[in-house]
C-alpha cells in the first residue's frame, strides 16, 4: 500500500467574534464594491422557520488590522450577502488570512461580479456601476481585456436583446422628478407678471 506523501497546506485557524461596529468593518480596498452591493442589490433576509434548529454557519475570511495594538479590528472584503445579514453583537466565525492588497481587491471584485452574473434577469444599472468602477487590471485578469457587455452576455449565454430589453424597462421605470417648491413659486410669479 502506498502512502500519500503530499503535504497539505495548514488551514488558517478560525475563531469566534462578537460583532460590533468597531471590530468588523469593510476593508478600504473593498469599500466601493461593498457600496455598489449595498446600494444596488436587493438584500433578502431569510425567513424564520421554527423547524430549522441550526442555521448555516458562515465563516468569514478577514484580514486583521496590524497597526492598531489597542483593539482587534478585522476587515471583511467579500461575501457581502452574508455580511448584510449580520446583526450587532452577533457571534460569527472568522478566519484570519494574510493577503496582499491586490488579492483583497481581486476577491472583492470577483464576489461583486459573481453576484451580478447570478442575477436573473440581467441588471443594466448594476452592470454600469461595475463597469465604471472596476479597475482595468482586474477586468483584464477576469476577462482578458476590459469589461464589456458583449463579454458579460457571452459569459451568461444571452443575446444582446436581453440586455437592451432590461435597459428599456429600467428607463421607463425611472420616477419623474418633482419640481422644487422654489421653482414652482418663481414660475407662478412669472405667470402673474
Q: pLDDT per residue over 81-113, tens digit each?
A: 999 988 888 999 999 999 999 999 999 999 999
Q: Which residue has the higher pLDDT, 1 or 70?
A: 70
Grid cell for residue 41 = 442589490
Tell how many helices (H) and how many strands (E) occur in the chain: 8, 5
Q: What is the pLDDT of residues 46-57, one digit of tens each?
A: 666 555 545 567
Question: Left, alpha or beta for 89 (phi > 0: left; psi -120 to 50: alpha)?
Answer: left
Q: Which residues does residue 64 pair with via DSSP β-bridges, in sequence order?
A: 74
Q: Residue 178 pLDDT > 70, yes or no?
A: no
The mean pLDDT value of the chain amounts to 84
- What is the SS3 assignment for 96? strand
Which residue from 76, 64, 74 is spatially nearest to 37, judged by alpha carbons? 76
Q: Residue 177 pLDDT > 70, yes or no?
A: no
Q: What is the pTM of this model?
A: 0.77
Q: What is the pLDDT of residues 152-171, one digit of tens each?
A: 999 999 999 999 999 999 88
Provide the sign of the torsion angle of the four alpha carbons 143, 148, 154, 157, taken in this order. Answer: positive
**76 within 8 A of 26, measured Cβ to Cβ:** yes
Burial grade of 137 (CB within 10 A; 0-12, 13-18, 19 or more): exposed
Per-residue model confidence (pLDDT) at position 103: 95
How far apart CA 131 and CA 134 sit, in angstroms, is 6
Amino acid at each position: 500500500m502506498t502512502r500519500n506523501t503530499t503535504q497539505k497546506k495548514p488551514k488558517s485557524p478560525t475563531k469566534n467574534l462578537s460583532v460590533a461596529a468597531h471590530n468588523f468593518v469593510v476593508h478600504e480596498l473593498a469599500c466601493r464594491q461593498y457600496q455598489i452591493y449595498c446600494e444596488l442589490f436587493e438584500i433578502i433576509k431569510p425567513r424564520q422557520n421554527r423547524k430549522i434548529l441550526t442555521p448555516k454557519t458562515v465563516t468569514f475570511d478577514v484580514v486583521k488590522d496590524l497597526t492598531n495594538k489597542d483593539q482587534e479590528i478585522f476587515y471583511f472584503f467579500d461575501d457581502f450577502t452574508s455580511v448584510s445579514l449580520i446583526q450587532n453583537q452577533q457571534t460569527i466565525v472568522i478566519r484570519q488570512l494574510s493577503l496582499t492588497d491586490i488579492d483583497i481587491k481581486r476577491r472583492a471584485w470577483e464576489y461583486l461580479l459573481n453576484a451580478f452574473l447570478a442575477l436573473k434577469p440581467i441588471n443594466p444599472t448594476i452592470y454600469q456601476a461595475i463597469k465604471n468602477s472596476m479597475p482595468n487590471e482586474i477586468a483584464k485578469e477576469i476577462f482578458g481585456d476590459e469589461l464589456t457587455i458583449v463579454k458579460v452576455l457571452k459569459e451568461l449565454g444571452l443575446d444582446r436583446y436581453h440586455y437592451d430589453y432590461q435597459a428599456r424597462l429600467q428607463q421607463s421605470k425611472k420616477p419623474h422628478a418633482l419640481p422644487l417648491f422654489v421653482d414652482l413659486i418663481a414660475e407662478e410669479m412669472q405667470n402673474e407678471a
